[in-house]
Amino acid sequence: MTYVVTEACIKCKYTDCVDVCPVDCFYEGENMLVINPSECIDCGVCEPECPAEAILPDTEEGLEKMLEINTKYSAEWPNITVSREAPADADEHKDEEGKFEKYFSTEPGEGD
Whichever of 14 and 77 has its CB closer to ligand SF4, that residue is 14
Residues that bind ligand SF4 (CB under 6 A): 3, 5, 9, 12-17, 20-21, 23, 25, 33, 35, 40-46, 50, 52, 54-55
Whichever of 42 and 92 has its CB closer to ligand SF4, that residue is 42
Residue 28 burial class via C-beta count within 10 angstroms: exposed 0-12, middle 13-18, buried 19 and up: buried
Whichever of 13 and 101 has its CB closer to ligand SF4, that residue is 13
Residues 6+ apart with CB under 8 A from 10: 31, 32, 93, 99, 100, 103, 104
The least distance separating ligand SF4 from the CB of residue 96, rounded to whole angstroms, comes to 12
